Amino acid sequence: MKLVTGGARSGKSRHAEQLAASHERVLYIATSKIFDSEMAQRIQHHRDSRPTHWRTVEQYRDLNTVITPQNDAQETVLLECITTLVTNVMYDAAGEKPEDEWDFAVMEQVVNQQIDILLAACAASPAEVILVTNEVGMGIVPENRLARHFRDIAGRVNQRLAQSADEVWLVVSGIGVKIK
């Protein structure tokens, strides 16, 4: 498993796509959900920019149904992105409760269950798996409660993924540096 991380607009997605493109066949797992018109445009832009021969699955939960022992070893799996997956799972766990009633410890448990499923799936799959995530810990401490908890949860998830990964790439200003 390879992990590619970096800040927003750092070039991490392009770097991960270049790593994946070294293989002829790619299964692209998109973790975004459309929740407004801007997000719909972003998702459409990503769909349009991917090579047409890449297979795409749009899913952010229970990724063991997509990353499996039956994956073709000749196909690379590229998952974009972990921080969006974390966001979606957190909001799922929050349900309809108002934000001031959210239990972030429970939300993190639900996120970790999904990350456990993902890590087990990656270990069982014969395909090379590339995960993309945002590095969230290099900025200032966010001023609001939700952003602080998100940063903490995503940061701990990134640490787990980096520890499990065979390779870790940090992308800064479009330049990838292999750090593991």
Tally of CB atoms within 10 A around 138:
9
For the CA atoms of 42, 67, 72, 25, the dihedral, rounded to the nearest 10 degrees, stands at 10
Residue 105 phi, psi (nearest 5): -65, -45
Q: Catalytic: 46?
A: yes
Kindly list the distances between the CA atom of residue 173 and the CA atoms of 13, 15, 45, 155, in Å, as whole numbers in the listed order. Answer: 12, 11, 21, 21
Counting beta carbons within 10 angstroms of the beta carbon of residue 130, is it exposed (0 to 12), middle (13 to 18) or buried (19 or more)?
A: buried
Amino acid sitting at position 33: K
Residue that the structure tokens 């395909």 belong to: 127
- Return the bridge partners of 25, or none: 75
Considering the candidates 45, 46, 53, 149, report the single residue annotated as catalytic.
46
Give me 165's structure tokens. Answer: 């990964």
Catalytic residues: 46
